[in-house]
Amino acid sequence: MRVIILSWEYPPHIIGEMAWYVRELARRLKKEGVEVYVLTYAPSEEKTDVDEGVVIKRVKPPITVTTNIVVWSLLFTTRLQAVAANLIYKLGSFDVVDAHEWITVDAALALKDRFEIPFVYTIHSLEKHRSASSATPLNIAIESVEELGCREAECIVVNSEWMKSEVTSKVSGVASKIRVVEPYTERWLEGVLKAYRSV
Amino acid sequence: MGLKVVMLTWEFPPRIIGGIAPHVYNLSINLVKLGVEVHVVTCDFPNTPAYEVVEGVEVHRFDSYNLPTPDFAAWIQLMNLNMQRAATKIIKSKRDGSIIIHTHDWLSAKAGIGLKHLNRLPLVSTIHATEYGRRGGVFSDYNRMIHEIEVWLGSESKRVICCSRFMAEQVNKVLEVPYEKIKVIPNGIDPSIFTNLEGVEDVRSRFAGKNEKLVLFVGRLVVEKGVHVLLDAIPKVLQKVDAKFIIAGDGYMRSELVKRVAESGLAGKVHITGYLDTNTIRRLFLAADVCVIPSLYEPFGIVALEAMAAGCPVVASDTGGLSEIIEHEKTGVKVYPNNPDSLAWGILRVLESKDLVERLKKNMREKVEREYRWSNIAQTTKSVYEEALN
């Protein structure tokens, strides 16, 4: 099995828990024999690292202005698309694209549309949790991307039953493709692999 | 197999926001006449079909508001996400033959660049104007963001098309695109839009008295179009010639300009009409004695072409694309930008010299036929596609 993981956080670029989560997941997948390519954000230069067999492509966004996170992220994901496409043209297709959080939905969708690679959407949190009382134009845009991701993904992975109910209360008709996988437990990897194999 | 182009544009008739829609429309129908298969991928519009064939051009409209947000720049990028999805479907169904991606301005940069990499196809972009030029510099984060998208588009494009040498220089200096990649192809005009129009006299008598010369300005009422310079020139013209000044267009300066006209006692001689429909504008070009273009910044100057195609003598600022379209005292009269004395001189030069007017009319019709025919522009554009494929 060959997987692309899209995550804008990855050590040493750490915003929250997600960076550690994705690194641990990638390492464990690799130990299970899965070929793992992580595409993530490059704070300075674009480069490729290998960490315990996991290939990490650090990708630089095409613009430096970050005041509009939606514009910034959608241009970053265009670069992610390009780097992923290069991998695919070089190595052949992948079995799954696992996109973490709304930021990478655009890239996963483009790869699905073009190369027919199944799209797994892993949701760690929703915009309504991060910006609970805020409804600025950018919050609205992010929520619409989250909804698009939920509708277009073949499978949605969340880490708790509570998050599953949060997602289904926001987007109707997607409950049947949500899988609850508790991280860092013995059954974590099994749950993720089941999600990958289901698509 | 034949040449195919996927044309990415955020506006296409009947959705008309600025100059890109008519440009892409004319370019596309003329590319089809040269045997190019043209797919326009554009935003939806009320009462238009998702797919239609317009004069041989296949027009694909996608739902551009399914990811809503009031933030314009964010909406543009989300619209590009949808545009790219629509274009991917077309490209996947056309794997045979040579395909070019052609995008217009930063507004569809993301989709063009995404499609280029995902499909390994050459990207051609037309830069109609730059953020730097529109604002006279890069001042805010918002400006800079758009400017950086333009730089990115320039660097990702195999060829960049600009409408004038002035724009080519700006794209080279400001967006750092090497001259080897830049091709100057002017905008075009179809002179037949001015033939056999009825009611020209009616329009003339609606706007000007029998003994008044008719001086026409057409454009947005914004600083860079220089209408305020025209207002300063008007009294100087009226000292010598009786004339009516028709200022057709709308913009944020309108109320200020109306106030200035009233205060200067020119209300009987200057008419600020607001937005006028195309039919009236075309007849005004035919009825007017002179068309004034006092712009301070002008990447191309499409109004000059329209006036020339209608046979209306042009007095224009010697700036930007206008400098290249107008040859002084041959196809028009050039004046110093932002200089009311010079502008008044130019207007009087045309209004007081019948010989000059006859000469200008003959020369400008020839120039329009020779240099600004859409069929020629499409031919040159096709050769840019062929270069990009090699």
Q: What's the token pair of residue B281?
A: 């504008």
Query: What's B107's DSSP letter?
Result: G
Q: Is the ipTM of this complex over 0.90?
A: yes
Residue with tokens 């028709």: B246
Q: Do B145 and A138 touch (CB under 8 A)?
A: no
Q: Are B349 and B343 in contact (CB under 8 A)?
A: no
Q: What confidence score (pLDDT) does residue B38 get?
A: 98
Q: What confidence score (pLDDT) does residue A4 get?
A: 98
Domain range annotation of chain B: 3-188+373-389, 191-371
Helix axes B141-156, A69-91, angle to 10 degrees: 20
Q: What confidence score (pLDDT) does residue B19 get?
A: 82
Task: Reply yes or no: is the peptide bond before residue A137 cis, omega within 30 of 0.
Answer: no
Compute the C-alpha angle B173/B325/B380, nearest 5°.
75
Q: Sorting pLDDT into bands at 50, 70 and 90, what band is B1?
A: low
pLDDT, tens only, B325-355: 999 999 999 999 999 999 999 999 999 999 9
The minimal CB distance from B77 to the residues A70, A82, A89 is found for A70
Cα dihedral B342, B337, B187, B184 sign: positive
Amino acid identity, position B87: A
Q: What's the token pair of residue B137?
A: 């510099």
The minimal CB distance from A64 to the residues B71, B120, B148 is found for B148
Q: Which residue in chain B has the smallest CA separation from A111?
A: B118
Task: Enumerate the residues of chain A whose CB falls inside 8 A of the CB of residue B78.
Answer: 70, 74, 141, 144-145
pLDDT, tens only, B36-50: 999 999 999 999 999
Asked if domains B3-188+373-389 and B191-371 share a fold, the reply is: yes
- Asked whether the predicted pLDDT for residue B129 surpasses 70, the reply is yes
pLDDT, tens only, B47-65: 999 999 999 999 999 999 8
Q: Is B297 exposed, middle or buried (0-12, 13-18, 19+ CB in 10 A)?
A: buried
Give the distance, in angstroms, between the CA of residue B296 and the centroid of all CA atoms in the same chain.
15
- DSSP letters, B153-169, are HHHH-SEEEESSHHHHH
Q: Do B92 and A148 touch (CB under 8 A)?
A: no
Q: What confidence score (pLDDT) does residue B297 get?
A: 86
The mean predicted confidence, pLDDT, of chain B is 95
The minimal CB distance from A68 to the residues B68, B114, B145 is found for B145
Q: Return the number of other C-beta atoms located less than 10 Å from residue B256's C-beta.
A: 12
Residue with tokens 């992010």: A142
Query: Model-level pTM?
Result: 0.91
Q: What's the whole-number mean pLDDT along residues B8-20?
A: 92
Task: Enumerate the residues of chain B whose CB falls inside 8 A of the CB of residue A75.
Answer: 77, 110, 149, 152
Fold classification of A2-197 (topology level): Rossmann fold (3.40.50)
Spatial distance between the Cα atoms of B82 and B12, rounded to a whole number of angstroms? 16
Q: Which residue in chain B has the smallest CA separation from A147?
A: B67
CATH classification of B191-371, choosing from 3.40.50.2000, 3.40.50.1820, 3.40.50.1100, 3.40.47.10?
Answer: 3.40.50.2000
Q: Are B233 and B340 in contact (CB under 8 A)?
A: yes
Q: What's the whole-number mean pLDDT along residues B209-224?
A: 94
Q: Sorting pLDDT into bands at 50, 70 and 90, what band is B68?
A: confident
Helix axes A69-91, A137-152, angle to 10 degrees: 30
Q: What confidence score (pLDDT) does residue B260 get?
A: 96
Q: Which of B41, B63, B69 to mutate to test the interface with A (most CBs of A within 10 A)?
A: B69
Q: What confidence score (pLDDT) does residue B92 get?
A: 95
Q: Name B173's Cβ contacts closer than 8 Å, sequence gap at least 6.
A: none
Q: Which residue in chain A has the smallest CA separation from B83?
A: A110
Q: What confidence score (pLDDT) does residue A44 get?
A: 86
Show pLDDT as tens, one digit a residue, over chain A (199 residues): 999 999 999 999 898 889 999 999 999 999 999 999 999 999 889 999 999 999 999 999 999 999 999 999 999 999 999 999 999 999 999 999 999 999 999 999 999 999 999 999 999 999 988 887 778 899 999 999 999 999 999 999 999 999 999 999 999 999 999 999 999 998 999 999 999 999 9
pLDDT, tens only, B221-275: 998 899 999 999 999 999 999 999 999 999 999 999 999 999 999 999 999 999 8
Q: What's the whole-number mean pLDDT along residues B319-323?
A: 94
Task: Enumerate the residues of chain A whose CB falls inside 8 A of the CB of residue B73.
Answer: 68, 70-71
The minimal CB distance from B141 to the residues A67, A82, A138 is found for A67
Q: Do A110 and B70 touch (CB under 8 A)?
A: no
Spatial distance between the Cα atoms of A186 and B97, rounded to a whole number of angstroms? 52
Residue with tokens 């062929």: B386
In percent, how much of chain B has pLDDT > 70? 100
Q: What confidence score (pLDDT) does residue A63 get?
A: 95
Spatial distance between the Cα atoms of A66 and A56, rounded to a whole number of angstroms? 23
The CATH class of B3-188+373-389 is alpha beta
Strands B57-62 and B98-104: unpaired
Q: Do A141 and B78 touch (CB under 8 A)?
A: yes
Give the distance, in angstroms, between the CA of residue B208 and the centroid of all CA atoms in the same chain.
28
Task: Enumerate the residues of chain A whose CB falls inside 8 A of the CB of residue B76.
Answer: 71
The minimal CB distance from B110 to the residues A74, A111, A144 is found for A74
Spatial distance between the Cα atoms of B130 and B164, rounded to a whole number of angstroms? 13
